[in-house]
Amino acid sequence: MTMSRQEIQIFPVPCILLVQVLWKRQKNCERGTRMKLGVLRFTLTALFWIAVFVVPAGAALAAGEIQRPVAVKVNGNMLDVEAQLIDGRTMVPLRAIFERLSATLEWDPNTRSITATKGTVVIHLQIDNIEAKIGDRASTLDVPPLLVNGSTYVPLRFVSEALGANVDFDSTTNTAIVTTDNSCNLPGGQVHNGTIKPGGETWSVCGSPHFVKDDFYVEGKDSPNLVIEAGAVVRFENGAGILVGLNAPGGLVVEGTEKDPVTFSADTAGAQPGFWKGIHFYGQTVKGRASIDFAHIEYAGGSNGAVTVTAGTSPVELTVRDTLFKNNAYAGIQLMENTRLSPQSKNLTITGTKTSPDGGGAPIVTAAYGTNGLPDGDYKENELNVVLIAAAMSSTTINTNTTWNKLSIPYQAKITVYVDGPSSPVLTIAPGTETIWEKLSGLTVGSYDRGGLIAKGTKERPITFTSQLERPGSWDGIGAGPYVGKDFKLEYVHVKDAVNGITLPEDLGPILTNSTIENSKEYGIYIKSSNVATDYLAGNTFRSNAKDIYTQ
> What is the pLDDT, as a whole number, of residue 187?
61
Task: Identify the band that residue 35 occupies on the pLDDT scale cut at 50, 70 and 90.
Answer: very low
Mean pLDDT calculated for residue range 105-130 = 83
Task: Check whether 56 has a pLDDT greater than 50.
Answer: no
Cα–Cα nearest to 104, from 118, 93, 94, 92:
118
Question: What is the share, in percent, of the chain residues with pLDDT greater than 90?
Answer: 59
Q: What is the mean pLDDT of residues 327-348?
A: 96
How far is Cα 22 from Cα 27, in angstroms, rounded to an integer? 9
pLDDT digits (tens, 9 = 90+) for 418-461: 999 999 999 999 999 999 999 999 999 999 999 999 999 999 99
pLDDT band, very low/low/confident/very high, at 374 (cuts 50, 70, 90): very high
pLDDT at 324 over 60: yes
pLDDT of residue 449: 96
pLDDT in tens, 501-539: 999 999 999 999 999 999 999 999 999 999 999 999 999
Residue 17 phi/psi, 5-degree rounding, is -60, -40
Distances (CA, A) of 371 to 150, 176, 245, 335, 467: 49, 54, 23, 9, 19
Task: Work out the average pLDDT over 482-502.
Answer: 97
Average pLDDT value for residue range 481-488? 94
State pTM to two decimals.
0.74
- Give yes or no for residue 251 having a pLDDT over 60: yes
The verdict on whether omega for the bond into residue 357 sits within 30 degrees of 0, i.e. cis, is no
Run of H or E residues at 513: strand 512-513
Percent of residues, the chain, with pLDDT higher than 70: 84
Q: What is the pLDDT of residue 31?
A: 40
Q: Which residues contact 51 (CB under 8 A, 6 or more apart)?
A: 11, 15, 16, 19
Q: What value does the mean pLDDT take over residues 471-494?
A: 96
Is a pLDDT exceeding 80 seen at residue 53?
A: no
pLDDT in tens, 393-426: 667 899 999 999 999 999 999 999 999 999 999 9
Looking at residue 38, what is its pLDDT?
Answer: 46
- In terms of pLDDT, which residue wins out, 136 or 495? 495
pLDDT at position 82:
74
Structure-derived torsion over alpha carbons of residues 373, 378, 384, 389, reported in degrees to the nearest 10: -10
- Overall average pLDDT of the 120-131 stretch: 85
**Structure letter (DSSP) for residue 345:** -
Taking 90 as the threshold, does the pLDDT of residue 41 lie above it? no
Query: What is the Cα 220 distance to its own chain's centre?
Result: 29
Residues in the chain: 552
Cα 376 from Cα 252, distance rounded (Å): 24
Residue 44: φ, ψ to 5°: -60, -45
Type and span of the H or E element at 158 = helix 156-162
DSSP letter assigned to residue 60: -
Interior angle at CA 101, CA 98 and CA 102, nearest 5: 85
Q: What DSSP letter does each residue of 353-401 carry, written as one string? A: -BEETTEE-EEEEE-GGGGTTPPPEE--SSSS-SEEE--SSSEEEE-S-
pLDDT tens for 227-248 read 999 999 999 999 999 999 999 9
3-state secondary structure at position 253: strand
pLDDT of residue 59: 35
d(CA 418, CA 397): 5
Q: Which fold has domain 66-179?
A: Copper Amine Oxidase; Chain A, domain 1 (3.30.457)
pLDDT over 80 (residue 159): no
pLDDT score, position 72: 84
pLDDT over threshold 60, residue 194: yes
In this prediction, residue 136 carries a pLDDT of 77
Mean pLDDT computed over every residue of the chain: 84
Q: Which residue has the higher pLDDT, 189 or 522?
A: 522
Min mean pLDDT across 37-46, 232-241, 259-268, 392-401 is at 37-46
